[in-house]
Structure 1
Amino acid sequence: MNHWTDRLESDDGEDPLVRPYTITRGRTAPRRDDLTLITVVTTVEPDETRPAGRRLEPEHRAILEQCREPAAVAEIAAELDLPVSVTKILIGDLEALGRVTTRPPLAAERSGGLNLEILQAVRDGLQRL
């Protein structure tokens, strides 16, 4: 996946900032303000009795695929090559649909502090942005 800003000189005349605006449906902030860079996101198998709802964007599907194993918000944003703010909006969409769960890192819950490995993973994810 290419970075969304790589298309500054688009051949089709489309503004490069249109895609993030489109996939978030014009929203600029997530519904929740408690999602942090180290919030862990995990995919939940869909409930077959629940209606499917609206069609998912490719980025939503990429998040579901990546979060089959728990992943931090920063890691997800780095993998999608999208701004963290856009990624948080997409995660919020999936959470509202019951397709993902979010939680603080287990190390932070148990010890009251952060695990060095988690901090390094977040740093590495941010550097990839």
Structure 2
Amino acid sequence: MSDTEDGSWLDDEAGRLVRPYTVSNGRTRPSAHFDLLTMVMSTGVRPQSYLGPDYDQVLTLCDAPISVAEVAAHLRLPAVITKVLLSDLVTHQALTLRSPRAVEAATPTDRNLLEAVLHGLRKRL
């Protein structure tokens, strides 16, 4: 069991014992482009060198497709730090990413779009 799994890196009162920016070696800019809705998934390839317990935890979370926002929530790290970790794993070919599809040229006054939203709202009420 790793230190992160047994909770020794967390303290109930103080929170995380390692500062978030220590995890990314002070880096705040990922080398790959990620949106919070970008889906990431493990490729099954492990990095040649050991990167650290946070990277192992990310790879475990990414066994199935998961969004960047969800990974950040599970790790309890800021999204920017999570994106740096994810981009490192993409560089090592341990993760693959898929950006969300852009909305196809829909204008805010597109009647079909507005009717679909209205239909969805009616179903929820």
TM-score in terms of structure 2 length: 0.65
- Counterpart check, 1:70 vs 2:65: yes
Matched, 1:20 2:20: yes
RMSD: 3.0
**Amino acid aligned to 2:57:** A
| C-alpha distance in 2 between matches for 1:96 and 1:31 | 8
Q: CA deviation at 1:3?
A: 6.8
User: Per-residue CA shift, 1:8-57, capped at 9, x if unaligned?
Assistant: 7x9xxxxx6x532221112122123x20000000001117xxxx533121
Deviation readout 1:50-99 (Å, 9 max, x if unpaired): xx533121111111111111000000000111000000000001000000
What is the number of equivalent residue pairs in this alignment? Answer: 99
1: CA distance, partners of 2:10 / 2:82: 13
User: What's the TM-score once normalised by structure 1's chain length?
Assistant: 0.64
Q: Name structure 2 gaps, 5 residues minimum.
A: 1-6, 107-116, 118-125
* Pairs within 5 Å for 1:51-70: 52-70=47-65
Query: Structure 1 residue runs of 4+, over 3 Å off?
Result: 1-4
- Structure 1 unaligned spans of 5+: 11-15, 117-129
Equivalent AA in structure 2 for residue 30 of structure 1: P
Kindly indicate which of the two structures has a greater share of residues assigned to helix. 1
CA–CA separation in structure 2 for the residues paired with 1:86 and 1:7: 20
Q: Which has the larger radius of gyration?
A: 2
**Share of identical aligned residues, percent?**
34
The residue that corresponds to 2:75 in the other structure is 80
